[in-house]
Amino acid sequence: MSILLQKRSVLKVKDFLKENLPETELIVLENTARSAKDAANALGENVGAIVKSLSFKDSKNNFYLCLVSGDKYLSNKKLSNLIKDNVVKANADEVKEQTGFSIGGVSPFVHLNSPKKTFIDNNLNKYETIYAAAGHPHVVFGIKFKDIVELSEGNIEDIAE
């Protein structure tokens, strides 16, 4: 078994998935999945099937999680309109502090601090299986769109440019 599967951040995600979707397997990638393109290449999947977990904050320092299709860019304007405040992308230290995960390994679930709200890019619904980070840039898992929506308690929105 890969030593990566023993990392605390990965175990958190693994335990959550085991409790909620017991059939879900973690996939250890030989190469990094720090970017959606890297993950897609490693999995042999379409880059759009990769979930980018992005953190944004508003003017009051409320954090929002955005799950975006790997072939899309989040629209700051659309997100700002949804929450009725201007947003900026959280920096690496803020992401780690809020989620407990480092950039490239941010899971859609089990964050240290729950986001004020989670928004899910409606483009992810095009794929039978989508792939998200499992707490480390070399570990991912496949999940159905309906399951990620349910487990993240996210709102499906048009948030891509």
> What is the per-residue pLDDT across 60-72, written as a single tens digit (0 to 9) for each?
999 999 999 999 9
CA atoms of 134 and 53, how far apart (whole Å): 11
Stretch 133-152: mean pLDDT? 96
- Domain with 142, as residue range(s), is 3-157
Q: Helix-strand-coil percent breakdown of the chain, rounded to 5? A: 35, 25, 40
* Structural domain total, the chain: 1
CB 123 within 8 A of CB 157: no
Q: What is the CATH number of the domain that holds 61?
A: 3.90.960.10
Q: For residues 133 and 89, is the Cβ–Cβ distance under 8 A?
A: no
Cα dihedral value 86, 149, 21, 1, nearest 10: -40
- 10-43 pLDDT tens trace: 999 999 999 999 999 999 998 776 689 988 999 9
pTM score: 0.95
